[in-house]
Amino acid sequence: MSLSTEIDNMEDDMPMSIKEEGGDDEIAGGEEEPHTDSDIDSNNNNNNNTNTTNKAGRVIKPPRPVTATLKVFDTAHYQLYNPYNPKLSYKDHEITDAFTGSFGIYDDYLLYMNPGHPEIEEIPFPGIRLDDRTAAKALDGLKRKSLHARWPTEFDTNGMIRATRIPLGHAAKKLVEVGDTDVDGNAVGAGQEGWYYLWWGGIHCLMGKEGYDAGLYLIRPSHEDFICPGLGFKLTRKAIIQLPSGDPNDPTFQ
């Protein structure tokens, strides 16, 4: 029996939902990832120091800047997966290493950011990191147990994309038109059409390398409530790279 079959057999019949495991608070928050002293210092230096609370009454801290420790694990840190080169299409991993609080254990993993639109089962694992566009596809097509079992590099045990994960590779985008509605209920007006980044649950922006390089990324706080189920866009986050047709991402990534 293949690893993918074993994982799929673990699944129940319930589709991925923000109401699983006690409600949207637990699913949206995911695991509490370790905070270092540098994280705390960066958070204290954040201009937005206002705490809020979620539906369950838990305190939500403001987003915080990326620490120097995490900045190492950006797109340039990884070799790219190449299905046509055996040396760059497989690593000797029987299982994907469990997340221990540091992305350093994945240094020899390959980054999957292939052009095109592969089927879910064509996306490789283990030994693989996913770019933002592929992560969005996985979020949209798999149940939470499969997400964590296949790519714990990207997803916590609740199937939520990790808050401390640096945006990687291709961005996940949606081409929107006048009259479309974003996750906050705002209608797209004349002159606002174009490519927008996709947000998971309305709280995590899958902006890829282009958004990260532009300084748009902040580490989201734990235990935020989902704004919406699944993927959606926000009018406040129009994509940096706008192409009229073809791939909406930077063509140098092809």
Parse the chain into domains and list their residue ranges: 17-253
Task: Please give the pLDDT value at position 137.
Answer: 93
User: How does residue 249 score in pLDDT terms, banded at 50, 70 and 90?
Assistant: confident
Contacts with 8 (C-beta within 8 Å, 6 or more apart), sequence order: 146
Average pLDDT score over residue span 246-254: 64
The pLDDT, as a whole number, for residue 129 is 94
pTM of the model: 0.78
Q: Which of 126, 128, 216, 202 is nearest to 166 (CA)?
A: 216
At residue 118, does pLDDT exceed 80? no
Give 201's strand partners.
none
Mean pLDDT of the chain: 78
142 vs 32, which has greater pLDDT? 142
Query: Using an 8 Å Cβ cutoff, are 217 and 167 in contact?
Result: yes
